[in-house]
Amino acid sequence: MKRISFVTVLLALLLSACAQATPTVDPAQIQASAVSAANTMVALTQAALPTETPVPPTPPPSPTPLPSPTLLALPTLSLQAQPTAGIPTTGSTGGTGGNAGGDPCQAPLTANPTGPKVTVQIVNSVKASIILSLSLAKTSFGECGYRAFNLGSGQSTTTTLPLGCYSAGAFVTDPKKPSKAFGYGCFKSDARGTVIVGAEVIKISQ
């Protein structure tokens, strides 16, 4: 019985000594340590975050240069059609033909062409002056070329031409209404022929 009591007393002393040896924890110190640790964690987290690279400002667009003015093409002045320089403008004419191109059919008829001929009356029925050209297609005698005539309003003339087929063209020099006249026809015999010039049509008949 005494032995049990002694053991009990001994255990009580040991427990009492252990309770006194346990240090007392200061709540304020724990709180300060926690705050310091939290601040350190925040600082480390901020340092670990990637820094934002500032985006360079977009430069304002450079002004677009204005297009250089386009020069307008100047209008081309068209001259009124005139008879070619190779066509004489006198009355019925004749002469040795010849031209720069070497084609005898583009030259005046000779003064006395070979082959049969016909007497032709040329009449200007237009109320204006005309410049007429009669072009002979090559005949079986090798004759070809043109004859030119300049007639006033209502005038007529008589000439001798080789038998054959003719293309006729005339400039009607009316200052109010200039025009051109064309025609085609053939003289096949020595019977008298006529060439009547109108404002737009030339009639060749026999």
Q: 140-168, pLDDT tens digit by residue?
A: 999 999 999 999 999 999 999 999 999 99
pLDDT band at 192 (very low <50, low <70, confident <90, very high): very high
Domain that holds residue 117: 104-205
Structure confidence at residue 90 (pLDDT):
38
Is residue 95 within 8 A of residue 127, CB to CB? The reply is: no
What phi, psi does 145 have (nearest 5°)? 135, -165
In a domain, 135, yes or no: yes
197 occurs within a structural domain: yes
- Measure the N-to-C terminal CA separation of the chain; round to a whole number of Å: 184
* Best CA proximity match to 107, nearest among 149, 141, 150, 136: 136
Q: Decide if pLDDT at 98 tops 70.
A: no
Classified as helix, coil or strand, 149 is: strand
pLDDT tens figures, 50-63: 555 556 666 666 66
Mean pLDDT, rounded, for 121-147: 96
Residue 26 lies in a domain: no
Task: Give the length of the chain.
Answer: 206
- Does residue 160 sit within a domain? yes
**How many domains does the chain divide into?**
1
Q: Taking residues 41-49, what's their average pLDDT?
A: 55
> Could you give the CA distance from residue 100 to residue 97 in angstroms, rounded to a whole number?
11
The answer to the question of residue 108 being in a domain is: yes
Is position 200 within any domain? yes
**pLDDT of residue 120 exceeding 60:** yes
CB 152 within 8 A of CB 139: no
Q: Determine if the pTM surpasses 0.85.
A: no
- CATH number for the domain harbouring residue 164: 2.60.40.4150
Query: What is the residue-averaged pLDDT of the chain?
Result: 74
